[in-house]
Each structure stands twice: as structure tokens, then as C-alpha cells.
Chain A
Amino acid sequence: MAENNIGSDSKRVLLKGNEAVGEAAIKAGCQCYFAYPITPQTETPEYLSRRMETENRVFLQAESEVAAINMVFGAAAAGARVMTSSSSPGISLKQEGISYIAGAELPCVIINVVRGGPGLGNIEASQADYFQTTRGGGHGDYRCIALAPNSVQECYDMTMNAFDLADYYRMPVFIQSDGIIGQLVEPFEMHPYKPMFEKLPPKTWALTGCAGRKPNVVRTLYMTPADGLEQLNRKLEQKYKKIQSELRWFENYNCDGADLIIIAYGATSRIAKSAIKKHNGNGKKVGLFRPRTIWPWPDVELVEIAKKNKNVKFLVIEMSMGQMLEDVQLALMDIVLKKDILFYGMGGGWNPTPESIYDKISETLKK
């Protein structure tokens, strides 16, 4: 599989991250979009309300997040490419439906433009939904693929990829954005849709009326063990293992030979990179390891880097009280002492500045 490349018939345009997500969905052939307004993601439904209408596709503002995700369930069951978007409190409401979608093995794309929490929290950027997204989120044994863009370009590219991955693996795929990336306006290459896979599996399971075939049933209820719940969970486990071996996206910036490696994703990784650029040249070398998939997590790659760099320290930076930190600790548990994995983060809809990260780098390297 290959990620989307910029084609010759692309053009450079200026859009918000949330709008680029919408345009990518249009280009990827999203037939239905259901959502409910919530800050800071509302630009996506506003953008798509116009675009879906001109394309003669389905746009529906649902009565709730709960209804929206169940409409996604229905459209996915009907065989359509479908997307919804929301922000943290709305994603919490959608978790019931996401569990059903995962259980029924239906493909869909879910955008989470993360804001501060818990509860209503605030409308500033946050990364405090990491657990919610990477651990399943709703009830039952399941996972969702989660792509984490850190630019408007990646919002666009990854949304296209998300539709392909959802169809390929038959499961919900998240775009885990945040209040900064979603609101960010910057130029990007708007290229035509380029599929990740030469061929996607045909949707023989879709509900289309049973003309010429046996009836299809989309279900998640298996009342007896013999009925198949154990088999379903084993099948899902196998699928998740396959994805973990096939889909670990990351960026390695300057990690080779680094004395300190910052681990950050999304908006935080952009800010960290600015601080690193300012710092390097001051003697010790600082790198950035950026997961571009937060599930599956690129643990194999981080371990390879850690093995090469003797005495390297790690600094995890998140706009939360430390959630991805646990995945870093899990990845490195056999080769790095816990004390060499440091954390810098805050809750409350806070974002670090290049200066604050610069200071943190200097402080860490002095220890």
C-alpha cells in the first residue's frame, strides 16, 4: 500500500483543516455525511452542507450525535462510503454506535477534532481523547484505526486514506485531529483522489435487498457461545494483529544519534519541531519521533531507534495529563528505564509554545 502522492493535476489552495477534511471526503467518494454541530469541528458540516448538495449526495444534520452515528451505521450497512465528524463530548456520545459498527465490521470514517475535557471542558485544542480513541472507546473488545494529522495537508491526505483503510479492513477509522489542526489555515496541495489499494474487497455483505442471493443480516447479537461471539472476537483479534503488522505510520525527524528524542503527535509535534530547530546546533542533538498512526502505534520503529541510540532520553509531550505516555512506556519497557522517559503536558485546553518546549529541552539535557 502507498500513501497518496501529489499528482500533476493538483492545485495549491488555502483551507482550514476542518474544511480540507470535507473536501477530501468529497474527492474520496463519500456518499453520505451525518453530523451534529459542535465546536471546534463545525466548519466540516458547514463545508459539506454546500459541497454534498452540489454533488447530489446525502448531507443530513442529525438530531443528536447518537442519531448521527446510527445513521452512519445504516449507511455503512447499506454499502455506502460514509463519514461523520465531531469533537470530544460528541465522540463520547457516538461511542455506543461505534461499538456496534466495529462489532458488525462496517467501514466508516470518524473525525474527532479534540477539545478540552472531561465534561464540557472547553473549546481549546487538546489531546485528552487519546485513550478514548486508541482503546476502543465503547463497550466490548475492539479497536479503531486512528490517523493523526499535524497539518492541513495531512488532514486532506489522511481523510482520503481513511476511506480506503475502512473499506479494506471493514472497520471504523478515526482522524484524530485537534482544535489547532482543525482551525489551522495553511496552503496545501489539493490533488485528485488516489486510492491506496489497487482493489478493495467487494461489499458482498451490504444490505441492498436480497435479489438473486440469500438474505444478508448485519448484526452484533450472538446469544449463545455456539452462535459465534467467541469466533467474532477471535476474528477481530486476528484482524487487529494484521493491522498492527501492516499499518504503523510515523515520522523520524533527526532521531538518529539524538541525545534526546521528543515523542509527540498532532499539533504538539509541529510546535516541538520548531523548538528542536531552534535548539539544534547548541551541542546536544534533539530528534522528534511522531506517530502518524496512534493506533496501531509505531512501537517497533521506536524500539529500533532506541536500540541504536545509547543513553538517549525520551520526552513525551501531549496536550493532556499523559495518555500516549503509557504507549511509549509499553513500547520501551524492555530496553529503556522508566526514569529516562520524561513527560511534559498539561490539561485544560492548553498548548505548549516553542519557547516552553525549548526550555524543557534545555532542562532535560542538563539532568
Chain B
Amino acid sequence: MNIIKTQPKSITTESTKYCPGCGHGIVLRLIGEIIDELGIREKMILTAPVGCAVVLYDYMLCDVVECAHGRAPAVATALKRVHPDKFILVYQGDGDLAAIGTAEIIHAANRGENLSVIFVNNAIYGMTGGQMAPTTLIGQKTTTSPSGRTAKGMGKPIRVCELLTTLEETKYLERTTVHSVRNINKTKAAIKKVFQNQMNGVGFSMVEILSMCPVGWKVSPTESLQFIEEQMISYFPPGVYKDTD
């Protein structure tokens, strides 16, 4: 029997705190695999955001800094300026990056900071129990948009990849999803790309990952996969938005 997958060395054996069907575990696993493949665990400094991903230091065997809500790109900017030879990974959710932290992500991108950003977009505030996020879809019901989000008064969901393409110092922007094996593989390739860009000094690189939050969406894990396929992808089309390489 051939062993084709093992526990990444960069990942702890801590049992997961994530809800059944959550996408964070998949994304963190992919990051762990890539850290192992690139052999950079001892050069990594990760930022943990506010939101469900805050506990990532329980799972990742790397140096981690826990950031205030939305501020990871500012914290990471300083980490990279102090340690240009280290590898700085910015991990943020949609409330963190696209609401409270819009200034920090836009200006880090605009300065062309040589950072790798993982933006997990699940269209909801997961940790606080399913409130409307900046990326919540029109018509989507949440605990703070009980009749469904409307463009009038609440605005339309923010498309972050598209927004950042206008900034000339951004170097790589891609949107992927983790709702199927094929897409998980594509996501892994995208994460690897943004890692390699930082190693090669390319500059600001981000992958936006559409991810499931069945508990926040109040659907089953299976239905959450369908939600991405049938609802999210049409508004947030996956693809490479910028590649200046």
C-alpha cells in the first residue's frame, strides 16, 4: 500500500474547533502542505485575524501574531519591513478584510508590500453567529439582514479582487473556491503561486477563496457546497484577475 497523503509537518495534531463543513480547515491544511513543500516553516510568520481563523496558531507550527480586527495588513507590513528575509502570510476573512480593514488592505496593496494574502470569503460573519458581511449576497438572509440583503440601504457585495486590480502595485490577484476537489486543487496551486511570488520578491499577491460556512448560512454542509456552486460563483467569478509576472 502506498501512502499518498500524510499529516503536514507544519500542522499540529490539535483537534479542530471548526464547525462541520467549514472551509477554514481545508485552507489551513493547504497552507500547511505548501509550507512543507517549500520548506519554509522556520521562516514563516503568520498573522491570525479576528474571526474564526484567530485560533490558527492552535493548528500551525509556525510563529504567529494575532492581530486586531482588520489590521493584519498593517501588522504584516511592519513584520516584513523588519524581517525582509522572512515569509509573512496574511490570513483574513471577509468581515476583517472587506469591512473593518478596508483601509489597511487597500494601502498595503497600494504600497505594493511584498506580502502573500489569503482572503477567505464566506459571505458572512461566522464567529459572531452569522451577521451580514460586506460580501453577503443580495437576498441572502443573515441575523442582521433577516429579510435578505438589499442593494438599497445595504449596498451590494464588495468584489475585492476586482477592486484591487485598479491598484497598479498589486502583482497577482486570483479568486478560487474550496467547494469541490477540483477547486481545492486549483486553490492549492493559487496559494502556492502567492507564496512563490513573495519568495521571488514579486510584490503584493492575494488569493480570494470562496469558502463554506454552513452554520452561519444555516444550511447543511452539503447544501453549503451547492450554495457556492449555484449562488456565489455567479457573483464572485473564480479566475486570475491580475498576473503581472
Contact = CB atoms under 8 A, between A and B. Distances in A.
B103 A66 contact: yes
B78 A32 contact: yes
Interface string A207-228: 1111110011111110000000
A124 interface: no
Contacts of A217: 57, 63-66
A43 to B, nearest CB: 23
Contact of B65 (A62, A63, A207): A207
Interface stretch (B41-49, B131-139, B140-148): B41-49
B52 to A, nearest CB: 12
Interface in A47-98: 58, 60, 62-64, 66-68, 70-75, 77-80, 82, 96-97
A211 B43 contact: yes
A100 interface: yes
A209 B107 contact: no
A28 B147 CA distance: 58
Interface in B58-115: 60-68, 71, 74-79, 81-83, 86-87, 103-104, 106-107
Interface string B14-46: 000000000000000000000000000111110
Contacts of A96: 68
B54 interface: yes
Given A58-B81, A74-B74, A215 B62 contact: yes
A75 B84 CA distance: 12
Contacts of B103: 63-64, 66-67
Query: How many B residues are at the interface, by size bracket?
Result: 20 to 34
Contacts of A208: 45, 63, 83, 86
Size bin of chain A's contact surface: 35 or more
A179 B68 CA distance: 30
A209 B78 contact: no
Contacts, number: 128
A289 interface: no
Interface centre among B42, B66, B79, B81 (most CB of A within 10 A): B81
Given A67-B103, A207-B63, A209-B44, A34 B86 contact: no
B63 A215 contact: yes
A60 to B, nearest CB: 7
Given A75-B81, A219-B57, A209 B74 contact: no
A31 interface: yes
Nearest to B45: A207
Contacts of B104: 63, 66-67, 70
A209 B63 contact: yes
A78 B54 contact: no
Contacts of A75: 78-79, 81-82
A60 B71 contact: no
Contact of B74 (A31, A70, A210, A221): A70
Nearest to A101: B68
22 contacts: A58-B82, A60-B77, A60-B81, A64-B103, A66-B103, A66-B104, A67-B74, A70-B78, A71-B74, A77-B75, A77-B79, A78-B79, A80-B82, A82-B78, A97-B68, A207-B64, A209-B42, A210-B42, A212-B42, A215-B61, A215-B64, A219-B48
Given A34-B78, A73-B67, A77-B75, 9 more contacts: A67-B104, A73-B65, A74-B78, A78-B78, A78-B82, A97-B68, A209-B62, A216-B64, A217-B66
